[in-house]
């Protein structure tokens, strides 16, 4: 736990890059069957006839994979990665089978909580990029981060 970060360990402009995940069509279809059962996430032929022109991952699948990459990255916050909410979440382009994704997160703001003096908020922008470094998801999240004890 010695590596866990406290509020004092974050500063504006810090960046964190995650490892990569390759997205497979079976995973796209499975996630969709559970959470977003629409033709363009479930079936290649139906997807070819849709707005997307082929199978694409649910945006919520891309968001969940983004969370996984952030959790596995070096952004280790004492007490865990807990979001108070998001300022922005968008999907500039779809994720397709075979895409390899990674995240790059940048600290936009670090501030003390007014109401809870033992913690603060780190505002972080994460871009999830595909193998051509094109953003597929942009997330600005406000993370609850404890102050260093003592």
- Told to check if 113 binds a second copy by CB under 8 A, we report no
Q: What CA–CA distance (Å, rounded) separates 61 from 25?
A: 12
Q: Is 36 in the site for a second copy (CB under 8 A)?
A: yes
Both tokens of 36, joined, read 């977003």
The angle formed by the CA atoms of residues 45, 49 and 54, to the nearest 5 degrees, is: 65
Least distance (Å) between residue 62 CB and a second copy: 10
CA distance 53 to 100: 19
- Binding segment toward a second copy, per CB under 8 A, in 4-12, 57-65, 100-108, 128-136: 57-65
Out of 63, 93, 104, 106, name the contact with a second copy by CB under 8 A: 63
Q: What is the DSSP string of 138-150?
A: EEEEEEEEEPPP-
Using CB under 8 A, count the residues that bind a second copy: 33
Considering the rule CB under 8 A, would residue 22 count as an interface residue with a second copy? no
Among 12, 48, 64, 112, binds a second copy (CB under 8 A): 64
């Amino acid at each position: 736990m010695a590596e866990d970060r406290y509020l004092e360990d974050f500063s504006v402009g810090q960046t964190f890059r995650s490892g990569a995940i390759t997205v497979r069509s079976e995973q796209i279809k499975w996630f969709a069957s559970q959470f977003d059962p629409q033709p363009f996430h479930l079936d290649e032929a139906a997807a070819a006839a849709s707005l997307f022109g082929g199978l694409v991952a649910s945006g919520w699948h891309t968001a969940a994979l983004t969370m996984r990459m952030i959790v596995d990255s070096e952004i280790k916050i004492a007490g865990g990665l807990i979001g108070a909410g998001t300022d922005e979440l968008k999907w500039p382009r779809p994720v397709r089978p075979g895409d390899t994704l990674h995240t790059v997160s940048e600290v936009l703001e670090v501030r003390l909580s007014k109401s809870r003096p033992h913690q603060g908020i780190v505002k972080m922008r994460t871009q999830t990029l595909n193998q051509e470094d094109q953003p597929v998801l942009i997330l600005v999240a406000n993370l609850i981060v404890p102050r260093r004890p003592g």
